[in-house]
Structure 1
Amino acid sequence: MTPPEGSGNIHKNSHNLPGKLSFTHMRKVVAALVVVACAHGAFWSLTRFSVDAPAAPPRLSSLSFAPYEPSADAEAGESTTRERIEKDLTAVAPYTKSIRTYAVTAGLEHVPELAAEHGLKVTLGAWLDKDDERNEREIKAAVDLARKNPNVSSIVVGNEVVLRNDKTVPEMIEFLRRVKAESPVPITTGEVWHVWMEHPELAAAVDYIAVHILPYWEGMSNKDAVDHAFIIYEKLRRAFPGKHIVIAEFGWPSGGHNIKAAVPGPFEQAETIRSFVARAAMRGVDYNLVEAIDQPWKHFEGSVGPYWGIMNSDRQPKFALNGPITDAAWQTKAGVAILLGFLLSIPIFTLRRPTFAQAASLAVAANAVGAWGALLIDFWLTHYFVLGAQIAMVVGTAFLIPLAIIVLARSEEIANITFGAKPVRLLRRRQDVALTHTPKVSIHIPAYREPPEMLKLTLNSVAALNYPNLECVIVINNTPDPELWQPIEEHCRELGDRFKFVNVEKLEGFKAGALRVALQHTAADAEIIGIIDADYVVSPHWLSDLVPTFSDPRVGIVQAPQDHRDAAQSHLHSWMNTEYAGFFDIGMVERNEIDGIVVHGTMCLIRRAAMIDAGGWSSDTICEDTDLGLAIMERGWVAHYTRVRYGWGLLPDSYEAFRKQRHRWAFGGVQIAVKHMRRFFDDTTLLTSQQRRSYLVGWLSWLGAETVGVGIAIMNLLWVPVVAFGGIAIPEMVLTIPVLVGFAVYLLHFLGLYAQRVKHAPGVTAGAAVAAMSVQLTVARAVFEGLVKQHMPFIRTAKGGATARGRQYPAFWEAILAGLLLGGAALLHVTNTDEIKEINLFAVVLVVQSLPFIGAVVIASLERSRLNDPAFLRAARGRLAALLPLRSQPLPASAAARIEDAKV
């Protein structure tokens, strides 16, 4: 906890970083990793299940056969070759007695001849559609092949032609009549069962009924599929007594999306087909399964189109025809998941003094990401992708990899704070320690068009410091209005010689330029430079407590947190203040443990020699403080941090000012990352590997998290019409669930760590979470601009209530994005008539992604209402209480005494 304000000096627990991992801690880490790896393996074992299903005959009755290259597009008219046909026949011949084709041109005319060499019967299909010229070629070729090849058992004239409305029933009957007159074998046409039931005249025109029964397309569970098929079979037998009936298409897809209760999958496919085949054999029903080999080109049939084969596109069987049905790839997936989990756990060995629970929780997070990685790899290897799905997968994966890193980084911070050892490098206050060394401190205050009364408070607090050897240099820059700077000049004269007033009318270089001027006016014997913003009131003990830290000649920076004195002004101010506090009480404390703090330009003490060593203040970024601090640490100087509050400034005047400040920080962060990135990977820096990792992960977690969030949201918005109206590239769960997990980890990180470290009221913490989310678009825009621009003007954050609120609604674009995301979710829900689970999950993701933008709208709207005024709410609660029935409460003692007197 932050020690109470009072006199006394700061005591350093250690100038050095904690030592390397001891043998005891090493054992804890190894034990944690072993336990988690075993638990991970046990989890995979529990998810490895087998399904018992009736054994199928060693050879099936018939399989639909489409011998195309996996990369071919038969729908576009590509032909096949004798070589491809021969290879595919070799693959399927051991599993079937017969095959069914759907066309007899474009290379398929070779099928009967080659099938005979494998002892296979052939049901020839003559493809019919609206192209009458092709129809004639198909019919003629089918009849010729039937005459020449004795292994042709029948001809199927057209496939679902009536269902597709390519031909009418009378037209089909005419085709059937013509083919029957010329064919040496029985003829039929293939149609779904309700077409046969609705058109008995069609049944009269064929030699046997070739019925397609595909319960998946009817939205049935695979548990009901076989029963449904034979119920339909019996209906047809009753409707057409004496007519031979062949179930010419039955199957179940091994991949793709569900339709209502119909869920595709490898287990579902194997169980359904084996159950169907066994019952058909027992009842003596002729059948043909859809299909022999997966056809990746069948994307026009929806997501399941490529997955109907009992073999994959590599011509490998997907399941055994007897024995338990198991996942053949289970062992590989489990092994990859555990291996990735271990590799992602390696950074745990770099922790200082880890506890078992800390290491175990980190290993759980690493193994969870490893499991996702294994599933993602498996998905890539076992699925077929059209162009749209490829784009979705590539872009989605590109966004999710940094998201996974961010999740791991946040999990690490959760584990460190919740289960790890207490911080040892924090500067802590020790009472009654006399000052023995008082090097001169020069306090620099840059001021740009600041309200004089506010600035006077800052100067008065500096004058009240209980440190004997100091000066204060205040630099007014680019402030032409005499009413703003003349009172400050006069006030400095009143405060005495220690206060130096400098007014620069045309100064370049923003705040860094003003600080360079201040350095020029600094006393030659000043060893330490203190920087505070013009709105800060400092504690009298700031210097006396922190300057002794510089007795270690390696120390270059001592940083104290920011705090604010106007948090009670409004609910928004309270939320902003709490949101800021998280950075100082959570992130900075953890970074300090590996000497990797972020220097911010107020409440900061810097050794003058370290500043000169690093090149001084630079104006090539708009966050000159963080830039200089990192440059100093790159030169090998040590930095220290305390959680004790020694200064209180003013919060941004408005939500718009809050956003502008965050935009400046993010833009400057990108500038700093670009400027220093190269040094992180060469020998020009003295930063340790842990320090470099801290900065890299910190930049990714802060700048990357918001940018990735906005990027995924925009990508998903663009994908909504594709999903709603195209239905061919629905985001898979392997892409959508990580987004929800990432949001859950964000909430756990924010609310959990604030509860442990910041400890503000729950309602205020919740408001701070909304405020933090609400600047997602602001940060993302700043990152984008930082990557395409080199510079932007320094924008002063409006503070002190002197700036009028802008007329433009500050959350306009957030309102647009929130509306589009919520509208997209509603559109997906309304158009999802097939109740596809992935679409519902995608809609949920859109709603979750809208929350940061809704947060911006809520805050921007609240700011402009009376609900933002705590006094108004207190008064409203009082009026409400007055309207409620009075409760029986004890009277105050004075009132009771008056009543007794009255009685007397």
Structure 2
Amino acid sequence: MRAVVAVLLFVTAAHAGLWGLLREKQQAAEFTGILPSVSYAPFDGSGHPDVDNFPTAERIRSDLKKLSAQTRAIRLYSSTGGPEMVPPIANEFGLKVNVGAWIDKDVTRNEREIQAAIDLAKHNANVSGIVVGNETVYRGDQIPLENLGLSEEERYRLVAEENQRVRDAEAQPADKRDEAVRWATAENNVRRLTRLIQRVKSQVKAPVTSGEIWNIWLEHPELASSVDFIAAHVLPYWEGFSAKQAVDQAMIIYQKLREAFPGKRIVIAEFGWPSAGYNRKAAVPGQFEQAVTLRNFVSRADSIGMEYNIVEAIDQPWKFFEGGVGPYWGFLDASRQPKFAWTGPVVDPNYWKLAGIALLVGILLSLPILQLAAPTAMQTLLLSAAAHGAGAWAATVFAYWNGHYFLFGSAFALTLGMILLIPLVAIALARIEEISAVAFGRKPRRLITRALTDAQETKRAAAIASGEPVNVPKVSIHVPAYFEPPEMLKQTLDALARLDYPNFEVVVIINNTPDPAFTQPIQDHCRELGERFKFINAEKVKGFKAGALRIAMERTAVDAEIIGIIDADYVVTPDWLKDLVPAFDDPRVGLVQAPQEHRDGDRSLMHYIMNGEYAGFFDIGMVQRNEYNGIIVHGTMCLIRRAAMDMAGGWSSDTICEDSDLGLEIMEHGWLTHYTNTRYGYGLLPDTYEAFKKQRHRWAYGGFQIIKKHWRRFLPGNSRLSRDQRREFGLGWLNWLGAESLGVVVAILNLIWVPIVAFADIAIPDKILTLPIIASFIVTLAHFLVLYRLRVKIGVPQMLGAMIAAMSVQWTVSRAVAQGLITEHLAFARTSKGGLTMMSVEFQAFWEAVIGVLLLIGAGILVVSNSNIQITEIYIFAGVLVLQSLPFLAAVAIAILENSRINQFGWWTATAVRTAELIGLRPVALPTPIPAPQKVASELHRDA
């Protein structure tokens, strides 16, 4: 334990050290003066000014009092709806004001804005200028003729000129036409704007201009001629320049304007950098980037005597329509607190608070390690590192929540995302825990191994030789069957007859199978095998397989102490009972489970990978769960103490996984269970991919039924389940049912989100929502590959195929969980085996194909739509969609494989031979991959 505590302290210290090393500190030019001008909007909160966001005089006075210590002037963008209160209040604090008249396509509003701006200029001596329109030409808003103050004749002449300009543009060659039309339209807007500026200039003495992006001034010099000074917007962020390039770019543009308009007063009417939001090409928002950019710009601008206005003073949360960065241009946040200092190193004032959160969460998530049974140092190191990684993510989430403004929609999206991501992170941590246990933990101690059974046999033989009494409890083996191929079932019974155990009986129960072709051969065969074999043909049995097993219990020998269950397709080895029954010498043991294995993995490539997929559960998950007495009982190769079964209430028909249900009931009554990963029986794989999916659907649906039936037993004091057993079952259900269902839900939600991101240019998922999905996928991939290599004795090709097979049932499991939520009971679906199943004419992965293709199309749309602005989060989002498509496409791949020639091993052999001949080598015969269980089954069949 000391080593474990030492490792925990080491990881915590390393985590704290990383925060210290990674703390960002940047140098920037210091500014101790007063800004010449800042943009100011008096609106508060997230409501749009046109709807309900009306400022009060008190709010404006409070803002301007604070700003008066930082600037000499204020720039407004409108003169109605609240901003008209600014000039007189600004005068109280000695602030100059450049009033704005917002101009768009609304005639009535334009007229109100124009008159209000004129009135403010006439009645407030501190109004130093009027800005008519803000990026009106850039936005392409055509100013209504009614606002220009023209006579009818002037209007007619203006419209005629505009139409002729457009016609001339449309007459240009095809390769120049679009650009010519764009320029003609802009020129028309410029002409109207100049007329409006002339109208305002005729009524005021204050200088009049218009606010436009810098290139508009260069492209339309007649606009510059109409204004008293040039008010150019220089915002390198929107042009995709990096924060390091921004100031240089602004200076270059300023020089261009001076050269283009010598002698004209030039004001950089907007310069700024957002503190949050999404990147645009090389332009990355951020608090550090904003602080460094603004401080360097102000220093450079002051050194050359530039007139400028910083956009903007205070964050405006209502500006979500300007994209992700819209609300974050202020150097004060919405609470009127400074985001950075204008002097000294640029640092994050909340950095150590975030570090504290990360460390606290990491420590809390590490505490369960202390409850593990004898964890190793490496196991502790991996688990603690994962816990602190989750802590760092939690701190990042807190920083995002604390540093962003949320409308209802974005807050809802983030909350929903976190609701889905928290269990996803929990699943990833659980999988890391399993990796650590298998790769670095102690070797299994409760597992029944061949060495252990050999030692038991040696001890038993010695006892017999010495004349000591040896208990040989009677075993009643139950074989339920429903429309099973008779030849297959005969092989199962022949193998039971060869059991190397002196005291057993076999009860064969065929239920609801009226066709004598399925029942009579088995009845005759049981007579041939002797009195140990009892045959029951039960019709109209209710309760599916559980109902049949209840009838078998009624015909079980009174002196049978142990009940064995095998499926009708399982060929057992002779030493099954001899090796495993001695485990019941411990009176506390209620159940012993052996793994499933299959003897037909060489039927096709599909069956080959399916067999590999099954092996993972029995060699990894079951072995680990056995260490905590928390195995999942599956209804074949299972031995159950009769007393434990009676105490648990016997076979129940209220779930379609009666075997797992009974096993959990037995554990809930305090019995011990044991598991062996030694193969003692070999069954048949599902005939088709359809049967494989139906079987997985039944398991998942039955598992969900068991959750609904037993969840109260997992509450403290409601059963004899230990804390470890509760944890294993809880994490097991979450890891299987939860992971698959969450994967599908998140994929569908992301698919719905694609058009919003691609076409609405809003609600782009932040990295805190997308990177955990990628990290979870990587953990899942590592979990599969590492554990398979360490525990499952199969080759790499079969392992990779098994991974595809495991992914392919994600949609199937999620459907089962969804049906479990809305239904109580589904009919028991027999898994078709034995080669009697007809191949379905339907494509077995239709919906998986639809969703998988849509995810790929969505990723493509995101990449194409993002090619101009290159937002990193969109590329990450597209990558997430591609990853999420893989399970769906895996199902499509297997469904296509099943009906193709390459599914047959013979095709691969023939192809290899033909290839060898083509390249001049003599034909070679490649070995057919035949699993070891096939050899065993073949030998058993030959002996029969």
TM-score, length of structure 2 as denominator length? 0.90
Query: In the aligned structure 2, how far is the partner of 1:552 from the partner of 1:855?
Result: 46
1:137 paired residue number:
112
1:870 pairs with 2:896: no
Shift in Å, 1:572: 1.2
CA distance in 2, matches of 1:472, 1:405: 45
Question: CA–CA distance in 2 between the matches of 1:58 and 1:38?
Answer: 42
Aligned to 1:270: 291
Alignment of 1:462-477 (within 5 A): 462-477=496-511
Structure 1 match to 2:547: 513
SS in 2 for 1:353: coil
- After TM superposition, give the deviation of residue 837 of structure 1 in Å: 1.0
Pair 1:882 & 2:917 matched: yes
8 Å CA contact retained: 2:42, 2:82: no
Q: How does 1:139-154 map to 2 (within 5 A)?
A: 139-154=114-129
Deviation at 1:434, TM superposition (A): 2.1
Separation in structure 2 between the aligned mates of residue 59 and residue 592 of structure 1, nearest angstrom: 72
Deviation track 1:424-478 (CA, whole Å, cap 9, x = no partner) reads: 1111234233262111111111100101111111111111111111111110000
Contact 2:852 2:889 in 1 (8 A): yes
Does the CA-based 8 Å contact 2:477-2:566 persist in structure 1? yes
Task: For 1:163, give the aligned amino acid.
Answer: Y
Deviation at 1:494, TM superposition (A): 1.0
Alpha-carbon shift at residue 345 of structure 1 (Å): 1.2
Partner residue in 2 for 1:625: 659
SS in 1 for 2:137: coil
Establish whether residue 433 from structure 1 lines up as the match of residue 459 from structure 2. Answer: yes
The one-letter code matched in structure 1 to 2:232 is V
Counterpart among 838, 850, 856 of residue 873 in structure 2: 838
1:567-618 CA-to-partner distances (Å, cap 9, x unmatched) read 1111111111111111111101111111111111111111111111011110
Contact 2:430–2:735 (Cα < 8 Å) also in 1: yes
RMSD (CA atoms)? 1.5
SS at match of 1:433: helix
- The answer for the alignment partner of 1:451 in structure 2 is 485
Distance 1:727 1:626 in 2: 49
8 Å contact from structure 1 (residues 388, 728) kept in 2: no
Residue 565, structure 1, aligned to residue 591, structure 2: no
Distance 1:234 1:366 in 2: 54
Instruction: Identify the residue that residue 748 of structure 2 maps to in structure 1.
Output: 714
Question: Does residue 163 in structure 1 map to residue 189 in structure 2?
Answer: no
Matched letter for residue 510 of structure 2: I
Q: C-alpha separation between the residues in 2 aligned to 1:232 and 1:505?
A: 91
| 1:343-362 alignment, distance < 5 Å | 343-362=364-383
Match of 1:14 in 2: none
Q: Give the structure 2 partner of residue 298 of structure 1.
A: 319
Alignment of 1:371-382 (within 5 A): 371-382=392-403
Q: Distance in 2 between matches of 1:449 and 1:132?
A: 81
> Quick check: 1:100 aligned with 2:75?
yes
**Equivalent residue in structure 2 for 1:752, among 778, 786, 794:** 786
Which residue of 1 is the match for residue 19 of structure 2?
A: 44
Instruction: Establish whether residue 110 from structure 1 lines up as the match of residue 85 from structure 2.
Output: yes
- Which residue type is aligned with residue 361 of structure 2? L
Q: CA deviation at 1:156?
A: 1.3
Residue number in structure 1 paired with 2:884? 849
Matched, 1:554 2:588: yes
SS, match of residue 834 in structure 1:
coil
1:424 maps to 445
2:388 corresponds to 1:367: yes
Q: What residue is the counterpart of 1:785 in the other structure?
A: 819
Amino acid at match of 1:286: E
Instruction: Provide the C-alpha distance between the structure 1 equivalents of 2:852 and 2:812, rounded to a whole number of angstroms.
Output: 14
Q: Structure 1 stretch 277-286 or stretch 131-140: which is displaced more?
A: 131-140
CA distance in 2, matches of 1:78, 1:888: 83
Give me the whole-angstrom Cα distance separating, in 2, the residues matched to 1:145 and 1:799.
88
Amino acid in the other structure paired with 1:433: K
Identity %: 58
3-state DSSP of counterpart to 2:564: strand
What's the counterpart of residue 768 of structure 1? 802
1:739 corresponds to 2:760: no
Instruction: Report the count of equivalent residues.
Output: 864
- 1:163/1:195 contact within 8 Å kept: yes
**SS at 1:809's partner residue?**
coil
Aligned to 2:95: 120
Q: Secondary structure at the match of 1:123?
A: strand
Gap regions ≥5 residues in structure 1: 1-25, 890-904
Letter in 1 for 2:95: L
Paired residues of 2:917 and 2:923 also in contact (CA < 8 A): no
Cα distance between partner residues in 2 of 1:120 and 1:419: 69
Q: Which residue number in structure 2 is paired with residue 207 of structure 1?
A: 228
Alignment partner for residue 265 of structure 2, among 244, 255, 274?
Answer: 244
Counterparts of residues 498-647 of structure 1 (less than 5 Å): 498-647=532-681
In structure 2, the CA distance between the partners of 1:801 and 1:433, relative to structure 1 (3 Å rule), is farther
Q: Which position in structure 2 is the counterpart of 1:283?
A: 304
Q: What SS does structure 2 have at the residue aligned with 1:366? A: helix
Contact 1:556 1:606 in 2 (8 A): yes
Contact 1:249 1:290 survives alignment (8 Å): yes
Asked whether the 8 Å contact 1:28–1:354 carries over to 2, the reply is no
What is the 5 A alignment of 1:69-80?
Answer: 69-76=44-51, 78-80=53-55
User: Displacement, 1:77?
Assistant: 6.1
How far apart are 1:76 and its partner, in Å? 3.5
- 2 CA distance for matches of 1:276 and 1:519? 87
Contact 2:916 2:923 in 1 (8 A): no
Query: Per-residue CA shift, 1:95-136, capped at 9, x if unaligned?
Result: 222111111211212111222222222111122222222222
1:888 CA drift (Å): 14
The Cα of 1:512 is off from its aligned counterpart by: 0.4
Contact 2:741 2:813 in 1 (8 A): yes
Greater RCO between the two (CA within 8 Å, min separation 6)?
1
Task: After TM superposition, give the deviation of residue 678 of structure 1 in Å.
Answer: 1.4
1-structure distance, mates of 2:775, 2:825? 36
Task: Compute the displacement of 1:795 (Å).
Answer: 0.6
**4+ residue runs over 4 A deviation:** none
1:427 match: secondary structure = coil
2:46–2:316 Cα contact (<8 Å) kept:
no
Match of 1:415 among 424, 436, 448: 436
Deviates more, 1:689-698 or 1:194-203: 194-203
Aligned counterpart for 1:397 among listed residues 389, 407, 418:
418
Code of the residue aligned with 2:896 in structure 1: it is: S
Distance across 2 between alignment mates of 1:437 and 1:40:
58
- Structure 2 unaligned regions, length at least 5: 144-188, 462-469, 925-944
Contact (CA 8 Å) 1:57, 1:278: kept in 2 or not? Answer: no
Cα separation, 1, equivalents of 2:197 and 2:845: 67
